[in-house]
Amino acid sequence: MVKATVMSDATTADPGKHILKSTSTTPGQTEVSQGLWGGNGLRTGIWEVTPGTFTSTRDGYNEICQILSGTATITESNGNSFDIGPGSLFVTPAGWEGTWTIHTTLRKMWVVQDISGAVD
């Protein structure tokens, strides 16, 4: 029998211990990611990051993001930018590059599709 994997409230669940954000340009910025499920080239979970700025790339994977709490501005490598907050839904495809400026601690639900050929 296959069972569902459930996180009762992704907006308040304890995601675990924060660590320094490796691509941050803001000293002391931290993040945490908690996986919920993975299989067949897909993974999902929640991620949280504190205020500051960091660079981001999508090497070998597509990502769907649903913002649960917090606010940020994302600036793409071509200079286009967009604001995100609770309810925002967007996709960053493989090859995407940009900078995230986190205004208030941000939490998202993410789904990643591995296109690099790696097996889970």
Is the CATH code 2.60.120.10 the one for domain 20-114? yes
DSSP string, 62-92: EEEEEEEEEEEEEEETTS-EEEE-TT-EEEE
Indicate whether this model's pTM tops 0.85: yes
Q: What is the pLDDT of residues 20-72, one digit of tens each?
A: 999 999 999 999 999 999 999 999 999 999 999 999 999 999 999 999 999 99
For the chain, what are the domain ranges? 20-114
pLDDT one-digit tens code per residue, 85-116: 999 999 999 999 999 999 999 999 999 999 97
